């Protein structure tokens, strides 16, 4: 064990990370976000990239198209602190400026077990990566002509350049993974044959069947499903839309379809939402760039029917009324009778979501013909057959699919060998006080440079719109991170209650307490504050409020404030 480093599996420490490092806790793949931001700030772009890749497998891809759940929880986005750190684009910068290739992982000794994976989307690629790193022989079967799944065939190139995707897939292949493309499981090769050839088979086929509106007129010419439309465009097929296009949907696919329609020559494109922009899960940047390119976004409208004889001529909508938000933050809508109106169009793209398609395999299935699998073990009722990713959970994000693929890989590894290769642990390491400067709190968020003027985006439709941070911009944005993985603590045996730390604290983060509140695991969940010096039992630093400026350490006359780096990591057993 390294000097000054302790690995803990105490529930209290896991709770601490969950509450006090909210960006990492919000990341489905548990990416050590403060660590990679700090590495980039120090000029170690390769190290920053490697920290990312150890957790989320595809940093260059996710640095462009991640849904950014981490940024929603970033403490810099709290009401009085400003905008969250642009975590996603710092990840991209680490990929853009890394010094070497993406192949720095050491392989474990070869394990003589074979695992087949059906599907080379994010879940399949992540599973293949981790199984190969653990020493398994891995073969991926992909129905399309090239690997990548919906990363390649569902996301337009102006958002995700194919050379970035190819580079990160190539890094996985260099681990010894074999990918067979153009192989349709169930047609070109049967499941039973794959189960015989491999010690385990993992289905990561995703959601590739589009949901329909179930309204009259949906079968007219000129009506496209969002996913099928994007697949055709990404394959290079010609799709004729006409001048006026309506896109019905509220997710990333709907926005991709709208922006792509402009690049195919449409003069007027509208995205039609049942709810409002406030309810969108699409990122702020995506909404802004979509509007900037000329797409209109209409709210509170529900398709009643698609109009036309042989080909669509428009859509009749109801106006809708949003209901109160439910406990899960979502809300239903109610169509308003008598509020019907019509928008004319030459084409309609229906991007209201996807669902899994039937996977012809033996085993227990649900009423929709989908294989039933346990969400914890990923096992099906057929021995040796596992399921992961969107096929198991329904439509999710790329980062969620990566996390699911990795978890399934480690379950398969444990089932095949009886061994656990890694476990989650909290790494505690003594740290020098941060050199973060107080003025950095007031640095503005670095906006992502984009291709301008807008006309340039349509001259070469596949040209990437977001052009990337410069090194200086990425470092300036990294300065804004509060480095929440640093834990500040006062040693009460040495504290003389001088209050110097409280006087210099820029936030109400240092408190006089006479007691603490704990949960059933013994983790501190709250403090009993007091203003009565006679009742004070301790002076504590509330790390949920602390912005790691280090001022308290600087002024303490007794040197009684310690700083510990607290990180959630995968520990090799």
Q: How far apart are CA 571 and CA 573, in angstroms?
A: 6
Domain shared by 340 and 362, yes or no: no
How confident is the model at residue 423, as a pLDDT? 94
pLDDT band at 105 (very low <50, low <70, confident <90, very high): low
Residues 250 and 232 in one domain: yes
Do residues 308 and 413 both lie within one domain? no
24-47: average pLDDT: 97
Q: How many other C-beta atoms are found inside a 10 Å radius of the C-beta of residue 281?
A: 11
Query: Among residues 354, 380, 404, which one ends one of the domains?
Result: 354
Q: Which of 66 and 104 is assigned the larger pLDDT?
A: 66
Does residue 322 fall inside a structural domain?
Answer: yes
Residues 233/156, Cβ–Cβ less than 8 Å = yes
Tell me the mean pLDDT in the region 131-147. Answer: 96
Number of domains in the chain: 2
Residues 223 and 201 in one domain: no
Give the pLDDT confidence score for residue 324 in this predicted structure: 83
Query: Is residue 504 very low, low, confident or very high in pLDDT (cuts 50, 70, 90)?
Result: very high
The two structure tokens encoding residue 292: 């900037």
pLDDT > 80? residue 113: yes
Is the pLDDT score of 1 beyond 50?
A: no
pLDDT at 297: 98
Average pLDDT over residues 548-553: 92
**Distance in angstroms (rounded) separating the CA atoms of residues 471 and 19:** 31
**Same domain (yes/no): 215, 349:** yes
Domain boundary among 385, 420, 455: 420
Judged against a pLDDT cut of 80, whether residue 3 lies above it is answered with no
CATH of the domain at 262: 3.50.50.60
Phi, psi for 71 (deg, rounded to 5): -70, -30
Q: What are the pLDDT digits (tens) for 382-431? A: 999 999 999 888 889 999 999 999 999 999 999 999 999 999 999 999 98
In a domain, 222, yes or no: yes
- Selection from 158, 166, 472 nearest residue 286 by Cα: 158
**Domain-embedded: residue 191:** yes
pLDDT digits (tens, 9 = 90+) for 432-449: 777 888 889 899 999 999
Task: Identify the pLDDT of residue 438.
Answer: 86
- What range does the domain containing 128 cover? 114-208+356-420
Residues 186 and 272 in one domain: no
With contact defined as beta carbons under 8 Å apart, do 320 and 301 qualify?
yes
123 and 196 in a common domain: yes
In a domain, 243, yes or no: yes
Residue 47 belongs to some domain of the structure: no
Answer yes or no: is pLDDT of 357 > 80.
Answer: no
Tens of pLDDT, residues 211-247: 999 999 999 999 999 999 999 999 999 999 999 999 9
- What stretches of 134-242 show up as alpha helix (H) in DSSP? 150-153, 162-173, 191-197, 226-235
Proportion of the chain above pLDDT 70, given as a percent = 97
155, 204: one domain: yes
pLDDT of the residue at 207: 87
Confidence at 370, pLDDT banded by 50, 70, 90: confident
Q: Which residue has the higher pLDDT, 364 or 337?
A: 337
Q: Does 355 score more than 90 pLDDT?
A: no
| pLDDT at residue 362 in the model | 66
Mean pLDDT over each residue of the chain, to the nearest integer? 93
| pLDDT for the residue 534 | 85
Per-residue pLDDT reduced to its tens digit, 310-328: 999 999 999 999 888 887 7
* DSSP at 147: S
Residue 290 shares a structural domain with residue 195 = no
In a domain, 164, yes or no: yes
pTM of this structure? 0.93
Give SS3 for 261.
helix
From the CB of residue 249, how many other CB atoms can be counted at a distance below 10 Å? 24
- The C-alpha atoms of residue 501 and residue 555 are separated, in whole angstroms, by 6
| pLDDT surpasses 70 at 566 | yes
Question: Which residues contact residue 227 at a Cβ distance below 8 angstroms, ignoring those fewer than 6 apart?
Answer: 150, 154, 208, 210, 253, 351, 354
Looking at the fold, whether 181 and 271 belong to one and the same domain comes out as no
Where does a domain end: 420, 450, 465? 420
pLDDT > 60? residue 468:
yes
Query: Is residue 523 a part of any domain in this protein?
Result: no
Q: What is the spatial distance between Cα 126 and Cα 80, in angstroms, rounded to a whole number?
A: 38
Residue 484 inside a domain? The answer is no
Q: Where do runs of H (alpha helix) occur along 325-460?
A: 390-393, 398-417, 455-459
199 and 125 both lie in a single domain:
yes
Rounded to 5°, angle at Cα 219 from 280 and 264 = 60
Over residues 268-296, the pLDDT tens digits come to: 999 999 999 988 989 999 999 999 999 99
Question: What is the average per-residue pLDDT within 162-173?
Answer: 96
pLDDT for position 466:
97
Q: Is the pLDDT of residue 527 over 60?
A: yes
107 contacts 132 by C-beta, under 8 angstroms: yes
Pairwise pLDDT comparison (47 vs 522), residue with the higher score:
47
| Sheet of 244-248, strand order | 223-225, 347-350, 244-248, 268-272, 296-298
Whether the CB-CB separation of 429 and 5 falls below 8 Å is answered with yes
- Residues linked to residue 489 through DSSP beta bridges, in sequence order: 562
Instruction: Judge if 278 and 178 occupy the same domain.
Output: no
What pLDDT score does 326 carry?
80
Q: Give the pLDDT score at 391.
A: 87
């Amino acid at each position: 064990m390294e000097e000054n480093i302790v690995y803990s599996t105490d529930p209290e420490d896991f709770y601490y990370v969950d509450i006090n490092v909210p960006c990492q806790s919000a990341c489905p793949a548990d990416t050590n976000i403060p660590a990679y931001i700090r590495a980039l700030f120090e000029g170690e772009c390769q190290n920053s990239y490697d920290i990312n890749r150890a957790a989320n497998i595809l940093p260059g891809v996710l640095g462009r198209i991640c849904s950014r759940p981490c940024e929603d929880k970033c403490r810099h986005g709290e009401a009085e602190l400003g905008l969250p750190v642009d975590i996603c684009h710092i990840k991209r910068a680490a990929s853009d400026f890394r010094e070497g290739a993406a192949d720095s992982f050491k392989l474990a000794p070869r394990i003589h077990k074979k695992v087949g994976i059906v599907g080379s989307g994010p879940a399949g690629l992540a599973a293949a990566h981790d199984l190969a790193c653990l020493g398994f022989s891995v073969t991926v079967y992909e129905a399309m002509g090239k690997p990548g799944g919906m990363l390649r065939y569902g996301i337009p190139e102006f958002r995700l350049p194919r050379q970035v995707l190819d580079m990160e897939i190539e890094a996985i292949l260099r681990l010894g993974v074999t990918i067979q493309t153009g192989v349709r499981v169930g047609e070109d090769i049967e499941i039973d044959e794959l189960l015989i050839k491999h010690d385990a088979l993992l289905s990561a086929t995703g959601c590739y069947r589009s949901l329909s509106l179930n309204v009259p007129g949906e079968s007219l010419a000129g009506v496209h499903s969002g996913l099928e439309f994007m697949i055709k465009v990404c394959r290079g097929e010609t799709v004729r839309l006409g001048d006026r296009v309506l896109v019905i949907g509220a997710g990333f696919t709907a926005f991709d379809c709208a922006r792509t329609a402009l690049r195919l020559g449409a003069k007027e494109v509208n995205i039609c939402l049942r709810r409002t922009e406030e309810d969108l899960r699409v990122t702020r940047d995506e909404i802004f760039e979509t509007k900037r390119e000329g797409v209109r976004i209409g709210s509170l409208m529900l398709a009643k029917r698609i109009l036309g004889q042989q080909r669509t001529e428009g859509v009749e909508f109801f106006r809708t009324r949003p209901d109160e938000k439910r406990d899960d933050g979502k809300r239903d809508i109610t169509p308003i009778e008598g509020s019907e109106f019509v928008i004319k169009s030459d084409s309609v793209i229906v991007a209201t979501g996807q669902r899994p398609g039937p996977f012809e395999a033996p085993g227990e299935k649900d009423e929709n013909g989908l294989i039933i699998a346990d969400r914890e073990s990923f096992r099906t009722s057929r021995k040796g057959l596992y399921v992961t990713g969107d096929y198991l959970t329904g439509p999710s994000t790329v980062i969620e699919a990566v996390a699911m693929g990795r978890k399934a890989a480690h379950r398969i590894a444990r089932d095949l060998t009886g061994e656990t290769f890694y476990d989650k642990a909290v790494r505690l390491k003594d740290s020098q006080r941060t050199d973060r400067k107080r003025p950095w709190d007031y640095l503005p968020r670095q906006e992502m440079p984009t291709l301008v003027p807008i006309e340039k985006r349509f001259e070469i439709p596949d040209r990437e719109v977001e052009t990337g941070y410069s090194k200086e911009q990425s470092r300036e944005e990294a300065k804004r991170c509060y480095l929440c993985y640093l834990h500040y603590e006062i040693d009460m045996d040495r504290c003389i209650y001088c209050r110097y730390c409280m006087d210099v604290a820029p936030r109400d983060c240092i408190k006089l307490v006479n007691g603490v509140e704990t949960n059933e695991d013994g983790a501190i969940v709250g403090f009993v504050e007091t203003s009565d010096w006679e009742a004070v039992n301790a002076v504590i630093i509330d790390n949920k409020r602390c912005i790691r400026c280090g001022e308290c350490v600087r002024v303490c006359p007794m040197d009684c404030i310690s700083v510990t780096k607290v990180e959630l990591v995968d520990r090799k057993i």
